Structure 1
């Protein structure tokens, strides 16, 4: 109220002063253009000037208002209101989840300009384009996503890395993830994608270095991590065995022992890992070390595969090997695979009759082609060729599916 009264008083004073100035000296303004001249008082000219400026200001304001109104109408026609954009985005995401890529991409891109979260629209649309095989459009949409929002680099990079991984562009995916990892070294999704890339590239050393981060910050449960650790160390064992093959027993022994020592104790106790280590020792002619490893493992964890391998190991003391295996037989008298191993160890000790008995006992418990072949070979060298042929036939039939019933020629009559 006071402010209005003050403005009114000031206006009245200014009006009085202006009226006094007009009465004191009206002045004049002369405008001449060619042969035409216009003369008027100064105050009239001032009023006309101010009125003209006010009219220009009003016209410009109306013009700007009409432009804004036109833009608003255009946006409503082509993009719709913010509420409509949100509804269209939600519908597009539903189509995205359903796998309706074409429809989802169309809805998400139409809603993006008025969406409150354009980053989501462009990222999902990029994935839609990728799923339709349009990699060029997918890349363009990723660029739009990066420009649509601040702090969008991580989300864009992860989306790009997933698409590169799915298209098996592993080297490009690795480059993308390594760039992101420098900024987000503990992000669980970055770590998991790196895990998948390293496995695909068989880059086991890098996966080994990543394992502590996966345990500390990854999103996998304990069982999955143990399975991953087992897979990793099996691969490292195979890699070490292949790397030293043909380089001599001493270098092979050192390399394999070093790799085995680096394996966590919980993984070393797994029979399949112990089997792989022993197999690598055998493949590099380290039979003494392989025998000790298999024997120690079988004393704690019984494994049919390790039992079979024990019969193939050529340790220095074949007699002691046979005694060790026969000790296991007391606890497992009905183990067909152990009988096969005992038969092979009997052959190494040149106990032909004992080997024959063990092979036959194994076949009584379980008919296996490998046992048939061993017994057939032994019988052939013992001069029992007919029986040898019968066991070879048995083993051959065990390796094939059941033959159909078909007509066959009669067997020839034996000649005297």
Structure 2
């Protein structure tokens, strides 16, 4: 503080001394060259000096403003950025409107000068994929990696989607499994993997993924329930039979598969039907018959009724007595009547079988029913009626 005060006083004294000299004597300043000379008072020279400094300062300030953040250059930059942003917005609008050609062209064109080039390349790649121009789509993904190295996972995700579209399922699955290890809760990765497994009918892999899908809430509840049901349906439907193995080994594998199915799925009619068909193939339906009867009582299902009637049972009379009770509620159900007729044949009750088949034909005729009734009539010696049934069945089948 003392130093500043000393310098100020010194400057004032020097200024006062110079001013005193200038008042006492007229001092001139001479500037000369070989051919030209200028003579002026010190006051005039000082004024011109200060004026020139002022002009230089003004020029510097003007140039700084023009080239600075708030100047013309900045205005031109902002104007260009706004123009490119509008192009990006327009491209995204085209994308939303499913105008894939314009979307791809607009987004690609504005990508290099875009404030968000990664968005341009992502959606231009997707638009190109919709046009099935996969070479162009992969090119955009390459550009995405160059402008945004951190977008590698996004790029790989889109690449997997493109491979899925091209039906290159194995390559897509390989990429998606790699991404799943890094991002186990990523919904897009999980959904793409579900699609790959579903389209390639890899039901075992899909079944192994169900717990992960449920845990991470990849799908809404209704969609997950449908996927879960379809997965187990297809596991049963596409059960692999190995002719080199003994029948008991197949039964064990079928039982293991059944135990793997959640309890709430086991009671579904379509699952029971598929399981019933497997056991019927190995002649082991006795195990599931009580479950079929229980499910029919719970929820009436014609597919289960048909299977119950078409299968041979060791004690058909017991099943017949249970099924006949259903007639009280459904006396005019042709599927039930046909089922009862089949059970009667299995129990060697041909007279009752004739009555049930005849009743079913009165409600709804079919070639199969005529054939069954014809066989029963032939067995009990009514040959003329039998021949007539066979003829009517043949006529109806034509």
Fold match (TM-score > 0.5): yes
Q: Does the aligned pair in 1 maintain the 2:313–2:346 contact within 8 Å?
A: no
Q: Does the aligned pair in 2 maintain the 1:146–1:156 contact within 8 Å?
A: yes
The answer for the alignment partner of 2:88 in structure 1 is: 89
Uncovered stretches (5+) of structure 1, i.e. residues with no partner: 10-65, 67-71, 401-416
The answer for the alignment partner of 2:377 in structure 1 is: 379
1:254 Cα deviation from its structure 2 partner: 1.8
Q: Distance in 1 between matches of 2:254 and 2:325?
A: 29
Q: Does the aligned pair in 2 maintain the 1:204–1:235 contact within 8 Å?
A: yes
The answer for the alignment partner of 1:135 in structure 2 is: 134
The answer for the alignment partner of 1:230 in structure 2 is: 229
Q: Distance in 2 between matches of 1:199 and 1:278?
A: 24
The answer for the alignment partner of 2:361 in structure 1 is: 363
Q: Distance in 2 between matches of 1:397 and 1:223?
A: 46
Q: What is the alpha-carbon root mean square deviation over aligned residues? A: 3.0
1:123 Cα deviation from its structure 2 partner: 1.4
1:189 Cα deviation from its structure 2 partner: 1.1
Could you give the per-residue CA deviations for residues 70-114 of structure 1, whole angstroms, max 9, x where no partner exists?
Answer: xx9xx98xxx81111110011111222223222222211111112
Q: Does the aligned pair in 2 maintain the 1:245–1:252 contact within 8 Å?
A: no
Q: Does the aligned pair in 2 maintain the 1:191–1:218 contact within 8 Å?
A: no
Q: Distance in 1 between matches of 2:131 and 2:326?
A: 61
Q: Does the aligned pair in 1 maintain the 2:122–2:141 contact within 8 Å?
A: yes
1:266 Cα deviation from its structure 2 partner: 1.1
Number of aligned pairs? 333
SS in 1 for 2:310: coil
* Mapped pair 1:193 → 2:192: yes
Q: Does the aligned pair in 2 maintain the 1:291–1:313 contact within 8 Å?
A: no
1:342 aligned to which of 322, 340, 343:
340
The answer for the alignment partner of 1:40 in structure 2 is: none
How high is the TM-score relative to the length of structure 2? 0.75
Alignment of 1:195-210 (within 5 A): 195-210=194-209
Q: Does the aligned pair in 2 maintain the 1:122–1:145 contact within 8 Å?
A: yes
1:344 Cα deviation from its structure 2 partner: 1.2
The answer for the alignment partner of 2:324 in structure 1 is: 326
Q: Does the aligned pair in 2 maintain the 1:288–1:314 contact within 8 Å?
A: no
The answer for the alignment partner of 1:311 in structure 2 is: 309
SS in 2 for 1:186: coil
Alignment of 1:256-267 (within 5 A): 256-267=254-265
The answer for the alignment partner of 2:216 in structure 1 is: 217
Q: 1:244 to 1:263 in 2, by over 3 A?
A: farther
Q: 1:211 to 1:353 in 2, by over 3 A?
A: same
Q: 1:187 to 1:398 in 2, by over 3 A?
A: farther
Q: Distance in 1 between matches of 2:279 and 2:203?
A: 20
Q: Does the aligned pair in 2 maintain the 1:95–1:104 contact within 8 Å?
A: yes
The answer for the alignment partner of 2:39 in structure 1 is: none
Which stretch of structure 1 is more off in the superposition, 379-388 or 163-172? 379-388
Q: Does the aligned pair in 1 maintain the 2:197–2:205 contact within 8 Å?
A: yes
The answer for the alignment partner of 1:173 in structure 2 is: 172
The answer for the alignment partner of 2:285 in structure 1 is: 287
The answer for the alignment partner of 2:161 in structure 1 is: 162
The answer for the alignment partner of 1:146 in structure 2 is: 145
How high is the TM-score relative to the length of structure 1? 0.72
The answer for the alignment partner of 1:254 in structure 2 is: 252
Q: Distance in 2 between matches of 1:160 and 1:366?
A: 56
Q: Does the aligned pair in 2 maintain the 1:249–1:285 contact within 8 Å?
A: no
Q: Distance in 2 between matches of 1:313 and 1:289?
A: 12
SS in 2 for 1:314: coil
SS in 2 for 1:198: helix
Q: 1:133 to 1:227 in 2, by over 3 A?
A: closer
Q: Does the aligned pair in 2 maintain the 1:189–1:218 contact within 8 Å?
A: no
Q: Distance in 2 between matches of 1:396 and 1:94?
A: 63
Q: Distance in 2 between matches of 1:125 and 1:214?
A: 30
Q: 1:272 to 1:397 in 2, by over 3 A?
A: farther
Q: 1:151 to 1:369 in 2, by over 3 A?
A: farther
